[in-house]
A and B are shown apart, each in its own frame.
Chain A
Amino acid sequence: MSETVVIKRVVDEAYDTKSFFFDLDADVRPGQFLMVWIPGCDEIPMSVSSVDGREKSITVKAIGPATRRLHEFEAGDRLGIRGPFGNGFDLSSGNVLIVGGGVGTAAVMPAVAATGADVIIAARSDRDVILKEVAERHSKNVWIATDDGSMGFHGNAVQLMREKVSQHDYDCVIACGPEVMLYFTYKACEELGLDCQLSLERYMKCGAGVCGCCVMDDQRICRDGPVFRREQIARLSDFGRGRRDACGRFVSFR
């Protein structure tokens, strides 16, 4: 069913990123997502970036027509919501290291809030770092990596992850971010013999596991995922290689 929610407040997270808070009765597990309807424009999958009782949020980077339109929305405006969808993270995986890259940081934030685990937030530059204060409210160790070195570690998420893994004793890495970051996170975990749970993304239509348009190999990102473990990812030949477009055609990344 589609539910209509009223935006309670909008928070600027960065120059191009905003969080929208609203009440939604449904129980949402960390790592699940909603289908957000912007009437007259589009319906897009958005990870839930916070859960506080009835209050939920999504954190949106303005990158396309739908997200730019959403950025014009203010407190009091209404959105259509379907969901939550997807499996979410398994947070009973021992001592976890949580890694967020870019706006993918939003998707791991409920897992940070639920566990208080160590966090890496990676971004291109200091002005792209989001949700640092939120992470610091829940976790003792919040490390920043920027590609240009303008804040924290000078380098990418995977380089910093390797450093932290060598200094601490982790059982599992939880991560969401650009696919290239997730690909090298997976490769590093494989090399280090460390389990991981990666939240993956594909173009989506139904969100409910029916239409099959978001598949990687034979797995539906919306229903079988979006979170996959290392041994599952090992069987996804599309991962890091290419995606399907709206017609269902395979489009190679390189």
Chain B
Amino acid sequence: MQDGVSLRTSVGKVELGLPGMVASGVMDETGASMVRMFGCGAGAVVSKSVGLQPNPGHSNPCLLEVCGGYVNAMGLPNPGIEEFRAEMEQAVPAGPVIGSIYGAGPDDFSELAGRMEDYGATAVELNLSCPHAKGFGMEVGTDPRMVGDIVSAVKSAVDIPVWAKLTPNTHILQDIGRAVQDAGGDAVVAINTLKAMVISPEFARPVLSNGFCGLSGNGIRPVGVRAVYDLRTVLDIPIVGVGGISCWRDAAEYIMAGASAFQIGSAIGTVGIDVFEQVNDGLRSFMEEYGYRDISSMVGAAHE
């Protein structure tokens, strides 16, 4: 009997029937892929990060299985914002799509956010955190002033909520989070991948073509949970937790650290596409047994 338990949650103005979202970069480059994920128990889908121009990304190898997850250096492949219209037209009627965008500065982000709003995105997620794309991602996301400029520019350009996805590859995460909040950002999403490298001893060279890459998966979860916990202590805006969630316990950790919702990426590969249903079922059972009636009653529980 789980009638009393609700998995509904909200990230500010964004209402979600289920608390788990597909993280950006995984099964979200095409409309049909996003529609499929809505049918698998995801409460929302965050799109592939889309830029102004089509981008083929880095050459292969761009992903490698490692102990505790994956490393990847996809290099932000995407069809460009113009062609992405068709994918959004297919996905948006199926459920809430958060449009992930990347750019080199406030103007790029503002233009992209406007297009995502036109396409029917529920919110935009600013990729301020990709660790392997020169001139983008964490290169613009580790300077609180630049982050503030980007967020406030996007806020004046669109009416839909603006989320900022943050990098853990900094010692001033709380300052960056505050910069998002002070600029009017509606939520922060933490964390993106940890900057990493894998070397082949046999070939005496980095394995991935780009050399540097980002580590994701189970291994980074304690880093992500700490980041969300740290951000909760200084922010009033909602937090979305992401990084190494593959079962309900992992999701509960992020929620209790202070996240109102969570995202799953790597586990769609390591566990499978049914990971959302497993997490939802597990969360319901846990909440039933431990007396949590809804997600909001769990948010930040570990702080008290």
Contacts and interface: CB of A to CB of B under 8 A. Distances in A.
A210 B268 contact: yes
Interface in B77-102: 77-80, 83, 86
Contacts of A201: none
Contact of B77 (A35, A40, A205): A205
Interface residues of B, number: 42
A1 B65 CA distance: 5
B172 interface: no
A208 B80 contact: no
Given A4-B202, A78-B203, A211 B55 contact: no
Contact of A218 (B33, B61, B64, B200): B33
Interface stretch (B24-32, B152-160, B281-289): B24-32
A118 B203 CA distance: 42
Contact of B25 (A42, A211, A244, A250): A211
Nearest to A45: B60
Interface in B246-297: 265-266, 268-269
A245 B66 contact: no
B127 to A, nearest CB: 15
Contacts of A215: 29-30, 32-33
Interface of A: 1-2, 4, 35, 37, 39-40, 42-44, 78, 80, 82, 205-213, 215, 217-218, 220, 223, 244-250
29 contacts: A1-B66, A2-B64, A37-B61, A39-B203, A39-B205, A42-B60, A78-B202, A80-B207, A205-B63, A205-B77, A207-B63, A208-B70, A209-B269, A210-B26, A211-B29, A211-B63, A212-B30, A212-B48, A215-B32, A217-B32, A220-B27, A245-B56, A246-B56, A246-B77, A247-B56, A248-B29, A248-B77, A249-B54, A249-B79
Interface of B: 25-30, 32-33, 35-36, 48, 54-57, 59-66, 70, 72, 74, 77-80, 83, 86, 200, 202-203, 205, 207, 209, 265-266, 268-269
Given A82-B61, A213-B77, 11 more contacts: A1-B65, A2-B207, A37-B61, A78-B203, A80-B203, A206-B72, A208-B63, A210-B265, A212-B26, A213-B29, A244-B29
